[in-house]
Amino acid sequence: MAKVFIIDDDPAVRTALSRLMKSAGIECGVFPTGESFLAALENGDRGCVVLDYHMPGSDGPDVLKIMAENRVPVPVIMLSAHDAPETRERARSLGAVAFFRKPVDGQALLDAIAWAMGTFERTSSPDVAVWQNPNKGE
């Protein structure tokens, strides 16, 4: 089943986004850090990542790089309270499919998630490598 993975260091943002997903009938996983998300990701997980740009430790761009290096087949939507052209460009260049400034409009985010997951499902080929988390057994 597809799932939305919310990664944000702000507990209030995690709670608000989690409630938004639940109100829309979307299963979600919530993580305070990029490291905790990557450690918990199961082999073959599908869905969409909603990722904060600025976080302590591995920030959004770091997580995007790791996902790209490991060919994690999940679209990423980036969020940031700091909306600058260079921030948006960096997120896009690292593979984010959408970028929103916080606070994000809930309906716009839900629409972007639906679009991202639908587009990904239609364009993914069967030979795309599926994330194999080295920290998880088969």
Give tens-digit pLDDT for 36-73.
999 998 877 789 999 999 999 999 999 999 999 988 88
Query: Model's pTM, two decimal places?
Result: 0.86
Cβ atoms 50, 63 nearer than 8 A: no
CA 4 to chain CA mean position, Å: 7
pLDDT of residue 121: 59
Task: Kindly report the average pLDDT of the chain as a whole number.
Answer: 87
Give tens-digit pLDDT for 80-130.
998 899 999 999 999 999 999 999 999 999 999 999 988 765 554 443 334
pLDDT of residue 76: 96
Instruction: Give φ, ψ of 51 to 5 degrees.
Output: -125, 130
User: Other CB atoms closer than 10 Å to residue 117's CB: what's the count?
Assistant: 20
For residue 30, name the pLDDT band (cuts at 50, 70, 90).
very high
CATH of 3-123, one of 3.40.50.2300, 3.90.1150.10, 3.30.559.10, 3.40.640.10: 3.40.50.2300
In three-state secondary structure terms, 138 is coil
**Residues forming a β-bridge with 31:** 7
CA 105 to chain CA mean position, Å: 17
pLDDT of residue 1: 64
